[in-house]
Amino acid sequence: MDQAQSLREMAFAKRPRNVPAPPLRTVAVTSGKGGVGKTSLSVNLALALAKKGRKVLIIDADLGLANVDVLLGLNPAHTINDVIAGRKPLSEVIITGPEGIQILPAASGVTQLTSLSQEEKLIIMQELEDYQTQADVVIIDTAAGISDTVLYFNLAAQDRLVVATDEPTSLTDAYALIKVLFTQHQERSFKLVVNNVADEAAAKAVYRKLAMAADHFLGGVSLDYLGFVPRDPVVSRAVIMQKPLLLAFPSSAAAKGIESLAQALLKAPAPAEAGNIKFFWRRLMDMA
Ligand SMILES: Nc1ncnc2c1ncn2[C@@H]1O[C@H](COP(=O)(O)OP(=O)(O)OP(=O)(O)O)[C@@H](O)[C@H]1O
Ligand SMILES: [Mg+2]
């Protein structure tokens, strides 16, 4: 058995056999504007949830410069493309990171995930059947912008964490993303995370501006304030070190903010529909 395989099994061995797994929660981390902290948040939120005993899978849906594996200092050998092409089973593509979090690495073909052939869709569904993930939470780190792929990941997930900062362009881009998901796809529920602000008052001001615009122009949208992460120089230091913030600087203000976000996410009522990973993929692939 290779090391990755044994790590995976150790990570999943903790749940007693007769305790049923809680329903899966799928969370898209999104923003409209680039560079506002989606990937840092995805990785560290995953770690915070794992520390609270959740089994977390991150789907890296953005092949950016500082993507999930880079932030974790990991070097994935394969990507989702290898699964679609039938070259590798999911179990050999998904890698295990710190705290047992699992990562499905990004591929340059991630944009094609929503336009697969019937045969490719079947391969993925069969793989998911065989893989039997035991994740409780799936976090999807989406790309910036409002491409169809970004929209589809947002629509397939049960929760949408919209990340915004107090920069005006971040606010307008977050609003534009919410607007297109609501007006063109009837998606009504969003959770706001304010990142990279001086303090809670600044975060609440961002929330008020977005909520007022949504109330005024997009009647029917519900935007909940989930929490904030303060501006903290250790965030970029962690990126440079390729060590996740939560492990490198666990007592920093930013790490504390992320821990509170994880707590708030777990406390928020679970979405009405019970999810499972196959359901998520089927929704995603059927959107195009
Ligand atoms: N709370 C924070 N305090 C200070 N700096 C931060 C904070 N959050 C993010 N940053 C900085 O912003 C940079 C961009 O973060 P990150 O890569 O997570 O954004 P992103 O939204 O995923 O970007 P992209 O849209 O390119 O994928 C980080 O390298 C870090 O330097
Ligand atoms: Mg990113």
Take atom 23 of ligand 1 and give the residue whose Cα is closest. 35
Q: How far apart are CA 30 and CA 42, in angstroms?
A: 10
**Mean pLDDT within 50-75:** 90
231 CA from centroid of ligand 2 (Å): 17
Is 260 among the domain residues?
A: yes
Half-sphere exposure of 149 (CA within 13 A, CB side): 19
Per-residue pLDDT, 17: 47
Is 113 among the domain residues?
A: yes
Beta strand ranges found along 170-238 (DSSP E) = 189-197, 222-230
**Mean pLDDT within 53-73:** 88
Per-residue pLDDT, 123: 81
pLDDT exceeds 90 at position 19: no
Is 88 among the domain residues?
A: yes
Best residue for ligand 1 mutational test, from 36, 63, 197, 200 (most atoms within 8 Å of Cβ) = 36
Q: How far apart are CA 1 and CA 268, in angstroms?
A: 39
3-state secondary structure of 250: coil
Is 198 among the domain residues?
A: no
What strands lie across the sheet with 159-164, from one edge to the other?
95-96, 102-104, 56-60, 137-141, 25-30, 159-164, 189-197, 222-230
86: left (phi over 0), alpha (psi -120 to 50) or beta: left
99: left (phi over 0), alpha (psi -120 to 50) or beta: left
> Domain tally for the chain?
1
Take atom 6 of ligand 1 and give the residue whose Cα is closest. 235
Residues with CB under 6 Å of ligand 1 are 31, 34-40, 62, 64, 66, 144, 195-196, 229, 231-232, 235-236, 239, 254
CB contact at 8 A, 96 and 8: yes
pLDDT exceeds 90 at position 27: yes
Its pTM stands at 0.89
Is 185 among the domain residues?
A: no
Take atom 28 of ligand 1 and give the residue whose Cα is closest. 236
239 CA from centroid of ligand 1 (Å): 9
**Mean pLDDT within 198-219:** 97
Is 48 among the domain residues?
A: yes
Per-residue pLDDT, 23: 72
Is 111 among the domain residues?
A: yes
Provide the CATH number for the domain around residue 45.
Answer: 3.40.50.300
How does 140-160 read in b/e, with b if 16+ C-beta sit within 10 Å? bbbbbbbeebbbbbbbbbbbb
Is 45 among the domain residues?
A: yes
Q: What is the pLDDT of residues 241-286, one digit of tens each?
A: 999 999 999 999 999 999 999 999 999 987 766 667 777 877 787 7
Ligand nearest to the CA of 145: 1
Per-residue pLDDT, 13: 43
Take atom 9 of ligand 1 and give the residue whose Cα is closest. 37
SS3 content of the chain, % helix, strand, coil (to 5): 50, 15, 35
Range of the domain at 256: 23-161+235-286
